[in-house]
Structure 1
Amino acid sequence: MSVDFDHETLGQRVVFKSGHAADNLAAEVGRLRASRVMVIATEFESETATKLSTGFDVALHYSDVAPHVPIAKAKAARVIASEYNIDLLVCIGGGSTTGLAKAIAMTTGLPIVAVPTTYAGSEGTNVWGLTANSRKLTGVDNRVLPVTVIYDAELTLSLPVELSVASGLNALAHCVDSMWAPRADPINQAIASEGIRAISVGLEAVVSDPTGLGGRERALYGAYLSAVAFASAGSGMHHKICHVLGGAYGVPHAQTHATVLPHVLAFNAQHAPDAEIRIATALGAASAVDGLARLYSALRAPSALREYGFDEASIPEAARLILSAIPESNPHAVSIDDLERLLRAVWSGRPVEG
C-alpha cells in the first residue's frame, strides 16, 4: 500500500494546567506586549472573566455574544474594537465567544488568546463561522487562529454534566468527521483516534464524578486534539448537516452535533472500512456503531433533535439545503431521500440504521 498525502500543521501555542488560567493568561498578555485588551465573555461567564483578567489592564469587557455569530453582532464588535484601539482579543467561554473573537480578527488581524470553558474546540482551528439571513457561512482564514490557547479544567467545573456531555460529543464529532473529510490523511486520522479515546474516557469520568478534574482534563485534552484534526481535515458530511441546521433553524450547537453524529457514523462507516476500524478501536469496541451506541448509553446523551426546537415540517427543506453542501469525498453517495430519512431519525431519536 502506497502512502501519498499533503498535510499542513497550524502554528499555535498551547498552555495546559489546571488552576493556573489567571497566571497563564497574564503571562501571555505580557509576552505579547499587549496594552489595549478586549476581553470577550458572555454575561454568564462575566464573573469568571473578571477573575481571570486581574493580572493585566483591560481596555474593554465585551459581552454581546450570540450563538452562530450573527453578522450584525460581528460588525458591531468590530466597530467597538476599532474605537477602543484594541491590540489583543481575549475570549473566555465556549464556541460562540471564540467565534465572535474570530469574526473580529478576520477583518482586523488582531491576535486572539482563547481561554475555553467548554469542549467546543473552535479555539484550535482556523475556521470561522457567521450567520446571515438564516444561513451559516463558514470559511478558513489563518488570521482567525488564536495565537495561544490556555486550558484549565477547573474552568469547566461550572458546566453541568448534561452540557458537558453535549459539548464533549461535539468534539467527538470533529474526530469522527476528520476520518473522511475532504483533506483526511493518516496524520489527522491518528490525532482524531487519540481524541476519540481521550474524549470517551474523559466524558464517562465526568458523568461518574462531575467534580473531579481527571475526567475533565482528559476531555479537554481530547477536545484540543479534535480541533487540530478537524482544522487539518476540513468539514465532512456531519458538519455540513449541523451547519445548515444551526444556521437555518437556530438549534443549539452542541446538542445538534450530539444527536446527528450516530446517524452519520452509521451511514458512512460501512463504506469506509479503514476509518471504521480506527473509530472502533479508539472506542474499545468490535464496531464503531456499537461502540458509539454504548458510549451514548453510558452518558445518557442527547438523542432527539425535536427536544431542542427542530420542527419535523422543516425536514424536506433542510435536506435540500444540506444536499448541495455534502463533500464529493464522502465515502458514500448521498441522495435527498437519504438525508430526509437521516433527519427524521435525528428528529425522533430512533436508533441508528446501519
Structure 2
Amino acid sequence: MHNFTYTANPGRILFGFGTLDKLADEIRNAGMTRVLLLSTPQQAEQVGAVAKSLGDLSAGIFSDARMHTPAEVTEQALKSLKSLGADGIVSLGGGSTIGLGKALALRTNLAQIVIPTTYAGSEMTPILGETTDGVKRTLRSEKVLPETVLYDVELTMSLPVEMSGLSGMNAVAHAVEALYCKEANPITALIAAEGVRALTDALPRIAQDGGDREARSDALYGAWLCGTCLGTVGMALHHKLCHAIGGAYDTPHAATHAIILPHALAYTAPAIPEAMERLRAALKTDDPAGRLYEIGREIGAPEGLQALGMPEDGIEHVVELSLRDPYWNPRPLEREALTLLLGDAFHGRPPSRH
C-alpha cells in the first residue's frame, strides 16, 4: 500500500424518492428561520412551488441564476438576500444555481441546503467558478460547501434525456480522472469506480426510457459519488482540455466533457495500469476508452467538437493553451499526440492510441 492523504469533506446527505418533503425539517434543524430560494429562470415555477410549501420559512425567491456564475448576478442576489432578511440559502437546480448559492455563502457565511436536479456534482465540492468581465476564475474554500444536500430522484424524472446523458458523462469524467490524478488515493478510488459503474450502467437505460425509475435512482447515486471525487482530489489532462476548449470557444460544458473523455483516457492509458484495471471492471470491457465512446453514441452526445461550433484551426490553439499552463498528468503532454487526440475528438472519430 502506498502512502496517501484523504480529506473527507463535511456535509449531510439525504438520498431517495420524496426527500424534498423533508426540506422544512432540514431548514429548522440547521437553525435557519427565513431562507432565500435560488433557481434559474427555467425553474422559477418549480422553486415557487417549493417556496409555497415552506410558508413562513421562505423569505423569498431569486430565480435569475446564470451559467458560469457572473459576478453581477451574484451582486443582484446578494442585495435581494439582504433586503429580505434571509438567514439561509436553498438552491434548487443544476450547476448554475448551485454556483450562485456557493457565491452567496462565500460572501455571507450563511448555511446552504442544496437540492440538485441534474447529475453535475457541484454540490459535493468546495469549488466555485465565478466570471468577472468575461474571465472565469476558480477557487477552493470550505466556506462554499453546502451543509446539507437533498437528493430527490423524483426531481430528476423530468430531466430531458439528452441533458441527462451529457450531465451524467460530465460526472463520469470527474470519477475517471480521480483514479489517476496526482492526489489519487485508495478511498477515492473505491468511490470513483463505483460512481463510474453506476452512472455508465444507468445512462444508456435512461436514453432508452427516461421514465425508468430504477435507472434514474442509479444515475443520481452515481452522480453523488462522482461529485464526491471532484470535491476531494484534483484533476488532470481531460479537465485541462475541456477548460481550454470551453474558455476559448464557449462550447457547452457537459457536451465538451462527453466528447473529450474517451480520447483523454486513451491518451493517458499507457501510464495508468492500475486505474485501467479498475475501469475495465467498472465498465465490463477490455477497452474502457472505447466503451466510453460507445456510451456517448448511445446517449446521443454530439459527434465531435465541430458539432459544438469549434473551428478546426482551434485544435492547434487548444494544444498551445494546454502546453502553456498544463495540469499534472501521468503521461506527459506531447504536442503531436495531443494534436492527434483533438483531431479525433473534433471529427467524432473513435479514440486511437497515440
TM, length-normalised to structure 2: 0.93
> In 1, distance between residues paired with 2:288 and 2:215?
22
Q: Which residue of 1 aligns with 2:138?
A: 138
**Aligned CA distance change for structure 1 residues 18 and 345 (closer, same or farther; 3 Å):** same
Deviations 1:117-137 (A, max 9, x none): 110000111111112344431
1:88 is matched with which residue? 88
Distance 1:210 1:187, change over 3 A: same
The one-letter amino acid of 1:116's match is P
Aligned twin of 2:341: 342
Residues 62, 80 of structure 2: 8 Å contact kept: no
Alpha-carbon shift at residue 266 of structure 1 (Å): 0.7
**Residues 258 and 303, structure 1, Cα contact 8 Å, conserved in 2:** no
Q: Counterparts of 1:321 and 1:113 in 2: how far apart (Å)?
A: 37
SS in 1 for 2:42: coil
Deviations 1:235-279 (A, max 9, x none): 222122222333332211111111111111111112111111111
The residue that corresponds to 1:9 in the other structure is 8
2:29 is the alignment partner of 1:37: no
Note the 1:1-354 alignment, pairs <5 A: 2-21=1-20, 23-53=21-51, 54-56=53-55, 57-328=57-328, 330-354=329-353
Deviation at 1:157, TM superposition (A): 1.7
Q: Percent identity?
A: 37
Checking the alignment, whether the CA contact within 8 Å between 1:16 and 1:150 is kept in structure 2 is yes
Distance 1:181 1:134, change over 3 A: farther
Whole-Å separation in 1 of the counterparts to 2:267 and 2:340 = 11
Corresponding residue SS for 1:346: helix
Cα distance in 2 for partners of 1:223, 1:266 equals 23
In structure 2, what residue type is equivalent to 1:16?
Answer: F
Alpha-carbon distance between aligned partners in 2 of 1:269 and 1:133, rounded to the nearest angstrom? 38
- Kindly provide the CA deviation profile for residues 101-124 of structure 1, in whole angstroms up to 9, marking residues without a partner as x: 111112221211110111000011
- Whole-angstrom distance in 1 between the partners of 2:270 and 2:86: 50
Count of aligned positions? 351
Q: CA deviation at 1:94?
A: 0.6
Give the whole-Å Cα distance in 2 for the aligned partners of 1:319 and 1:64: 35
Letter in 2 for 1:111: A
8 Å contact from structure 1 (residues 166, 302) kept in 2: no
8 A contact 1:277–1:287 mirrored in 2: no
- Does the Cα contact within 8 Å between 1:114 and 1:149 map onto a contact in 2? yes
Q: Given residue 9 of structure 1, which amino acid in structure 2 is its aligned partner? A: A
How many angstroms apart in 2 are the aligned matches of 1:268 and 1:295? 19
> Structure 2 stretches of 5 or more lacking a match?
none
Letter in 2 for 1:253: H
Q: Deviations over 1:307-335 (max 9, x none)?
A: 2232333333333223344323x111113
**8 Å CA contact retained: 2:290, 2:351:** no
C-alpha distance in 2 between matches for 1:109 and 1:339: 42
Deviation track 1:173-224 (CA, whole Å, cap 9, x = no partner) reads 1111111222111111110000001001111221222112110110000000
Aligned-residue offset at 1:159: 1.3
> Aligned Cα RMSD in Å?
1.8
Quick one: which amino acid aligns to residue 157 of structure 1? Answer: M
**Normalising by the residue count of structure 1, what TM-score does the alignment of the two structures yield?**
0.93
